[in-house]
């Protein structure tokens, strides 16, 4: 890792205390098969300093407001979460941004809250779960929201939720279902022409787009057969998404993402705190060692600065001293060993 990578993390989560309390009251103790992690601004900043992150754009992960059955309560919670995100951003100048939570699947309420969050609270974009109570992004009836976001040239951070089907015993949703959930949403956004009709919306797909880069040509053939469109146009639409590297900068996944994504469309992501520190260290190291220096700089912050111009002037964290860099690199290696229990036979 370089002495000052100045990463901009577009995939980092927050779990405000009042939100945790509401989830607990509803009997929700985990998300995606992972126990709800502890979170505080201070612990977030510690992780960011460890990974060399200058700014994190935080978002609320699944279930968002979707666990509330009363639309008014969901809208109230979205407003409260967005005001918290705005305060966090203001209280830690340059270190945080926030993606607004919308009370989906209520389209009208979500459009209204998007206006408020983007126009009044200074949100950097909005978070949309790939499916909301079983209704996927890209299905009919969502145009009011898309028009609102397109008019503002908004960034939409697409995060997976649990599939609208029973989980398979032994497979935690985050391990495989989340990738399929994101892929389903991306497929429908392209298949149903959302990305073409609303070209000013910039969509970021979590976790390197799920299966999108790997299965893109297969999906293009399917959409072409269904719609009569050119497979090349469909591939162009799929490549038009932005992709974050959260849990995806591995020797298997990263080359596929680099080969597929449009230039300028790969962004750094950590998925902290749902991804533990060891995982963040492992995949950050995979990125640092898996691309050339110019590409690393671009993924770390240049691409994000183009997407979020206000961050281009954000001050870089103080350069780490050589001893700190060595400690950071040693922590990454230790994190990788802890994550995968990399013990070679016959060694200690």
- Distance CA(77)–CA(132), nearest Å, equals 16
Query: 3-state class of 74 per DSSP?
Result: helix
Give 26-58 as a DSSP string: TT--EETTEEPPP--HHHHHHHHHHHTEEEEEE
Q: In the structure, what pLDDT confidence band is assigned to residue 331 with cuts at 50, 70 and 90?
A: low
Confidence class of residue 333 from pLDDT cuts 50, 70 and 90? low
Q: What is the pLDDT of residue 153?
A: 98
Q: What is the pLDDT of residues 66-111, one digit of tens each?
A: 999 999 999 999 999 999 999 999 999 999 999 999 999 999 999 9
pLDDT of residue 2: 47
At 167, the pLDDT band (50, 70, 90 cuts) reads: confident
Determine the average pLDDT of the residues in 241-252: 97
Please indicate whether residue 347 or residue 303 has the higher confidence score (pLDDT).
Answer: 303
Q: What is the pLDDT, as a whole number, of residue 124?
A: 98
**pLDDT beyond 90 at 163:** yes
pLDDT on residue 330: 57
**Which domains, from first to last, does the chain contain?**
7-340 (3.20.20.140)
**What's the mean pLDDT when you consider all of the chain?**
91
Residue percentage of the chain with pLDDT more than 90: 86
Instruction: Give the mean pLDDT of 11-19.
Output: 98
């Amino acid at each position: 890792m370089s002495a000052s990578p100045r990463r901009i993390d577009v995939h980092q989560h927050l779990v405000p205390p009042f939100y945790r309390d509401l989830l607990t009251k509803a009997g929700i103790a985990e998300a995606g098969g992972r126990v709800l992690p502890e979170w505080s601004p201070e612990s977030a900043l510690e992780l960011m300093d460890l990974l060399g992150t200058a700014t994190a754009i935080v978002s609320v992960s699944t279930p968002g407001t979707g666990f509330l059955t009363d639309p008014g309560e969901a809208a109230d919670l979205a407003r409260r979460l967005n005001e918290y995100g705005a305060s966090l951003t203001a209280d830690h100048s340059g270190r945080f941004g926030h993606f607004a939570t919308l009370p989906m699947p209520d389209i009208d309420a979500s459009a209204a809250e998007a206006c408020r969050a983007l126009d009044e609270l200074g949100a950097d974009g909005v978070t949309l779960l790939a499916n909301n109570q079983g209704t996927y992004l890209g299905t009919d009836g969502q145009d009011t929201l898309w028009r609102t976001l397109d008019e503002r040239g908004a960034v939409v951070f697409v995060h997976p939720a649990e599939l609208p089907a029973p989980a398979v015993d032994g497979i935690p949703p985050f391990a495989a279902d989340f990738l399929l959930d994101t892929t389903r949403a991306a497929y429908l956004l392209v298949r149903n022409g959302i990305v073409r009709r609303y070209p000013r919306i910039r969509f970021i797909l979590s976790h390197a787009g799920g299966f999108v880069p790997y299965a893109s040509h297969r999906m293009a053939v399917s959409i072409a057969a269904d719609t009569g469109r050119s497979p090349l146009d469909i591939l162009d639409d799929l490549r038009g998404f932005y992709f974050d590297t959260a849990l995806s900068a591995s020797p298997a996944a990263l080359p596929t993402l680099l080969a597929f994504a449009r230039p300028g469309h790969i962004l750094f992501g950590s998925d902290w705190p749902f991804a533990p520190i060891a995982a963040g260290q492992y995949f950050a190291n995979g990125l640092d060692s898996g691309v050339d220096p110019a590409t690393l700089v671009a993924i770390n912050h240049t691409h994000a600065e183009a997407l979020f111009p206000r961050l281009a002037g954000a001050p870089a964290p103080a350069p780490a001293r050589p001893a700190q860099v060595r400690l950071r690199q040693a922590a990454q290696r230790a994190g990788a060993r802890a994550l995968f229990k990399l013990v070679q036979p016959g060694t200690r």
